[in-house]
Amino acid sequence: MAKKEELRELLKAELKDDFIGEELAGERRLFVDVHNRALVKTAEILMKQGARYQVGVGYESRKGGRGLALVHTFAFDNDALIVIVRTFAPEDNPEFDSLTPIIPGAGWSERECIDLLGFRFKNHPGPKRLVLSDDWPEGIYPLRHDVPHDLMPPATRDVVFRLEQPPPGTSIVPFGPFHSSLHEPAHFSVYVDGENIKGCEYRGFMTHRGIEKLAQTELTYNDVPFVAERICGICGSVHSVNYAQAVEAAAGIKISRRAEFIRVVMLELERLHSHLLWLGVAGHLIGFDTVFMQAWRIRERIMWLAERLTGNRKTYGMVIVGGVRRDINKEKAEDIKQVLKEVEREMLSLEKAIINDKTIHKRTRGVGYLSKEDALKWNLIGPVARARGIAIDARKDHPYAAYDELEFEVPVVDYGDVWGTLVVRVKEVYEAINIIRQCLNKMPADGPLAIDLDAPIPSGRQALSVVEAPRGEAVHYVLTGEENKPERWRVRAPTYANLQAVPEMLMNNKLADFPIIVGSIDPCISCTDRVVVIEIGLQKIKVMRKEELETISRKMRFEG
């Protein structure tokens, strides 16, 4: 690949002795190791060449005693290439230069490394806690190898999250952790001047489930896909396929073409029900529950179909490393075709009603506007980016599974607002139907559903996989380990990238539009096991922990 060779030679020439080594893993991946002091320079070189930042990954390098490792990944969408840059720092001085000043979207990845691994980042503009709770003890870093996966340290003190200084003349309106406009726990401190939003600070990660830690301590390679499916209540197949692809790339195995087509069918069925779910939620958030009821009624056909194909409406359990667990025979294929025909017919009627409704236009046009330039700055992905004129889709840009054999359009508009996101998602419903039909027609008649690994997967191999989730590109990084377990598994869900730009999307909008602006990115936020209790009479705030909640709930159950 010309671009790959060009970048490799450019980095060698520019970095000189700071270019430590490379790993040629497939034609679409370039892994390079650079000296710590050259990290920012390397990022600048790649960005000038047209790279898009994806995610940062930190881990404790057990193999070879190289201290602590930091990985940053960059995508070249026009060349179907991803460059993975890795650097190291000693354990007694885990300091790295921050990329956040030049790449705002790197901010959360670096803050996560601070919380979970004890990294330090020079020049980071806001190194506040991100994942760990505010009462988590100092000096305990959950992703270090000496910290057990089930550690439950005692709270050190009663603390309250420290907000940034709000703009002068504004008031703070809190949304969350529990709020009628939020479907999962999150906290937005919205700064308002009258009804106008002048700023916002987000505080999430109220319960970090430790899935990545669990994978490197307790789970084998083929246990992980079933856990990966539970990362998101919508994008189960996205994460199981993504993880499996990464392990398969690290192991150097190629699954059957039939298994690849079956994976695509499940991914696109997931896209269908996700877009219909979002369309209904969007209607509900602007007070138009007719759209909500109609969209979810149509979606229910997809859910029933998924149950007939896999035994479950969600968490299908279809994907394993090496292929899939269930076939799609002729009878099931005909069932799929019939359901798609009905969904398409009903969707056309719903689309017509939406386009002609003045209320929807008034509540979405110009709302949550973000320019294409700002969208690029924050590395937005998925429908949120495509609504702002950015033609980005991993299925086209970095083909995987059977997408290289399929013909489909990537809907892109330049409205830059909630309406644009709605238009993109509606159009993608028809494209998903088109893709599934092609899969059923082109799927090979034979081929094993899954293949067995001939030998254990060697440790120390890196792999990176991308899958276009309904919300946008999901990224999985895998470093293989010993004892049939991954050494490091890092997941970057689409919301992780898009949520960082929400404060800018809220700026200068009306407070009443907060729910639909946040909802427009279709945020996926983990559940919580902590509650903030406010005693109004005593003017006290207390953070209630899991054990206290369990005691109260049991008492109410048996006494109430």
pLDDT in tens, 219-264: 999 999 998 998 888 888 999 999 999 999 999 999 999 999 999 9
Tell me the two tokens of residue 57. Answer: 């990954």
Q: What is the pLDDT of residue 151?
A: 85
Tell me: the pLDDT tens digits for 312-371?
A: 998 899 999 999 999 999 999 999 999 999 999 999 999 999 998 999 999 999 999 999
- Give the residue ranges of DSSP H helices in 79-192: 107-117
* For residues 502-519, average pLDDT: 94
pLDDT at position 280, please? Answer: 95
pTM of the model: 0.91
CA torsion 89→93→98→99, rounded to 10°? 10
> Strands across the sheet with 486-492, in order?
462-469, 472-480, 486-492
Average pLDDT estimate for 205-219: 80
- Confidence check: pLDDT of 8 > 50: yes
pLDDT for 560 beyond 60: no
Burial class (CB in 10 A: 0-12, 13-18, 19+), 424: buried
Q: How far apart are alpha carbons 445 and 18 in whole angstroms? A: 51
At residue 180, the pLDDT reads 64
Q: What is the mean pLDDT of residues 459-468?
A: 95
Which residues, listed in sequence order, are joined to residue 513 by a DSSP beta bridge?
none
- What residue has token string 């997941």? 491
Q: How far apart are CA 112 and CA 128, in angstroms?
A: 10
Q: What is the average pLDDT across 455-475?
A: 94
| For range 465-478, the mean pLDDT | 97
Place 536 in a pLDDT band, splitting at 50, 70 and 90: very low
Lowest mean pLDDT across 146-155, 190-199, 485-494, 504-513 = 146-155
* 25-47 tens-digit pLDDT: 778 999 999 999 999 999 999 99
Q: List domains and CATH numbers for the chain.
A: 2-159 (3.30.460.80), 211-520 (1.10.645.10)
pLDDT digits (tens, 9 = 90+) for 402-427: 999 999 999 999 999 999 999 999 99
Q: Quote the pLDDT of residue 533.
A: 32
Q: What's the whole-number average pLDDT of the chain? A: 89
* HEC per residue, 419-482: HHHHHHHHHHHHHHHHHHHHHHHHCCCCCCCECCCCCCCCCCCEEEEEEEECCEEEEEEEEECC
CA-to-CA distance for 261 and 459, rounded, in angstroms?
Answer: 29
CA 281, chain centre distance (Å): 19
pLDDT over 90 percentage in the chain: 71
The confidence band for 163, taking pLDDT boundaries of 50, 70 and 90, is confident
In the predicted model, what is the mean pLDDT of residues 204-211?
A: 74
pLDDT of residue 455: 84
Q: What is the pLDDT of residue 557?
A: 42
User: Does the pLDDT at position 194 exceed 60?
Assistant: yes
Helix, strand, coil proportions of the chain in percent (round to 5)? 45, 20, 40
What 3-state class would DSSP assign to 319?
A: strand
Residue 52 pairs with which residues in a beta bridge? 75
Q: How confident is the model at residue 454 (pLDDT cuts 50, 70, 90)?
A: confident
Which pair of structure tokens corresponds to residue 270? 């997931």
Confidence of residue 530 (pLDDT cuts 50, 70, 90): very low
pLDDT in the model for residue 214: 86
- Find all residues with CB under 8 Å of 358, minimum gap 6, and list them: none
Q: What is the pLDDT, as a whole number, of residue 213?
A: 87
Average pLDDT over residues 368-382: 96
Average pLDDT over residues 194-208: 85
